[in-house]
Amino acid sequence: MKLYLLRPMADDPAWDPWYDKAFGFVVRAKDETEARQLAQEESGDEAWKYNFGSEPWRKPLDSWLSSDHSTCVELTSTGEAEVIIRDFASA
C-alpha cells in the first residue's frame, strides 16, 4: 500500500463557498485511482452541485476523482522535514 495526499486545485469553484467541504485527505491505497475513490466517498459538499428549485436538486461532481479538480501525490519518506497537511479554516 502507498500513502497519497489529495488537495483541491487552486480556485476550483467546487470549493466555493468554503464551508461544509473537505480540503484534504491523506489516504492509504494501492494506487491513485483507489486513493481518489476513497476520498470521494468521504467528501463533503465539494462533491455535489446544488440546483435548488429543480429536479434533481443535487448532482454528483467528480471533485476528488478528477485531476481537473484535485491533486493526488504519493507521499514518500524522502525529502526535507515539513508539515504535510495543515487543514485550517477560520471564519
Looking at the domain assignment, is residue 86 inside a domain? no
CA dihedral 74, 66, 82, 89 (to 10 degrees): -150
pLDDT at position 22 is 92
Determine the structural domain holding residue 50 and report its residue range: 2-75
pLDDT at position 87 is 73
Looking at the domain assignment, is residue 91 inside a domain? no
Give the pTM: 0.84
Q: In total, how many domains does the chain have?
A: 1
pLDDT at position 47 is 92
Looking at the domain assignment, is residue 53 inside a domain? yes
Looking at the domain assignment, is residue 67 inside a domain? yes
Provide the strand spans (E) within the chain.
Answer: 2-8, 25-29, 48-50, 58-60, 70-75
Looking at the domain assignment, is residue 89 inside a domain? no
Q: How far apart are CA 20 and CA 91, in angstroms?
A: 13
Mean local confidence (pLDDT), 60-71: 95
pLDDT (tens digit per residue) in 23-33: 999 999 999 99
